[in-house]
Amino acid sequence: MTSGAWLVVLAVTVGYLLASLVIGLLSSRKTSGGTEGYVAGDRGLGFISLYFIMGASIFSAFAFLGGPGWAYSRGAASFYILAYAAVGLTPWYFLAPKISRLGRARGYVTQAELFADRFQSKGLSAVLAIISILGFLPYLTLQIKGAGYVFSIVSEGRIPVWAGALLAYAVVLIYVFKSGVMGVAWTNTMQGVFMLILAWTLGLYLPAKLYGGVGPMFDQLANQAPELLRAPGLAADGSRWSWGGYSSAVAISTLGFSMWPHYFMRIYTAKNERTLKQMVVFYPTFGIFLIPILFIGFCGVIRFPGVEPADTILPTILTSLDLPPVVIGLFCAGALAASMSTGDALLHASGSVLVRDLYRVLIRPDIDDAQQTRLIRILVVVIGALAYYFAVVSDLSLVLMLLLSYGFVAQIFPVFLATFFWRRASRPGVLAGLIAGCAVTAIWNLVPELQWRDIHPGLWGLAAHMLTLVSVSLATKPIPASHAESFLGTS
């Protein structure tokens, strides 16, 4: 690009940042100043806000970079993303209304508060808080790094990754610090609409530009690279991915999807049960909007061979075509939106979880509402700074951390089942099961010799978790029936 062109691209991207900041700062004007307002939006989010706050969280930096990268390098293996997005929230249809009622009645605003109350365990609250942060931190770090890459691409290297990441996440920190969940909700609504338009525009335009349409593109792929279109696709090393590996990736992602603590917290924000059920029913439509993202990756296979790393295929295609600077700027703004719409939710949830589930439970049970909100805001800044350090300074292996995180989060699912469906579950059983599941997941990831075939390690962790939960619960005293009864069932 010429000097004038890159300045136009940068102006579009910065304009998007400013729009996000204004919307984020204005969004909390009608909410209360306490933790229910800051963390749960006074339990008043409607269908549109809830739909986009959930949906935009899927469109992370992975969606605009990793999604096309998977389609480009691994072909049909990328379809697993569509599979788990379609069914991941199914448990919520049956249980989210009850969780919402319990939250209103007992003041829950985090996931761990529900489970710790059910099993009358401060230790469970602390363990769940630690698992949550272990999952959040690498995920947030990648979002910050993705934002830095966007600015580096926009400026053709004139703005370094560290400076771009700092600029983008300074904006996120400001509106999350000021507005809490309402800042996340309204910016995600704007970002979600923008990303959906951009995804479909690019997903249809690029195949048309390079091949004459989506159909002709797949016809050429079927002739020249048929292995990419045969399910279950390719593994990371280029070999055929087994059906066991594909299925286990779908299974662990599905079980973990509805258990992510920052998703789970949104149950408490809905204004009523009807809104929750509507959101769950319509949520799979966001999976439809992932389809054009995969088209982008497929359209690079023949025309742009050998791109490394594969995750850069989308910017590689865009910068190789003779596109107006405004179009490239809109793409960069879309990638930035994908990063920010996930990062802001993770930042907000991290501070909330550390204060409500760890600090308040183990250190300061007498902390008042105003002090909690103040401390959450402080921790939002601290966690953002820590993730920023990992993104631009540290050489820590984030790939390994991310591999562990989904397996860890999926270990919450048996606790979820025991909470609502097993009267005999005991406090020691739930704690022992959670620890055993996380330990096995970690060991299976860290010791290659134990990775039987390519089954996701989290599934071995779930097997150990369930076995330990059941056996220890049967050998120990259950929670009093009078307390457990109000949690059991779906109504």
Q: Note the pLDDT tens digit of each residue in 174-206.
A: 888 888 888 888 888 888 888 888 889 889 999
Q: C-alpha 474: how far from its chain's center?
A: 35
| Contact indicator for 388, 144 with CB cutoff of 8 Å | yes
- What CA–CA distance (Å, rounded) separates 135 from 122? 20
Which one is the CATH code of 3-397: 3.40.640.10, 1.20.1730.10, 1.10.3720.10, 3.40.50.10740? 1.20.1730.10
pTM (2 d.p.) = 0.87
Q: How many CA atoms lie within 13 A of 222 on its CB side?
A: 6
Give the pLDDT score at 451: 55
Quote the Cα angle for 350-465-262, to 5°. Answer: 20
Q: Which residues contact 302 (CB under 8 A, 6 or more apart)?
A: 220, 221, 224, 225
Q: Note the pLDDT tens digit of each residue in 281-334.
A: 998 888 788 899 899 999 999 999 988 878 778 878 887 887 788 888 887 787
Q: Which residues contact 68 (CB under 8 A, 6 or more apart)?
A: 293, 294, 296, 297, 300, 311, 313, 314
- What CA–CA distance (Å, rounded) separates 412 from 176? 26
Give the pLDDT score at 302: 93
Sorted by where each begins, the domain ranges of the chain are 3-397, 411-491
Give the pLDDT score at 304: 92
> If you search the block for the tokens 């989210």, which residue do you land on?
96
| Contact indicator for 68, 307 with CB cutoff of 8 Å | no
The parts of the chain modelled with pLDDT lower than 50 are: 397-399
- What CA–CA distance (Å, rounded) separates 331 from 299? 17
Residue 488 sits at φ, ψ, to 5 deg, of -75, 145
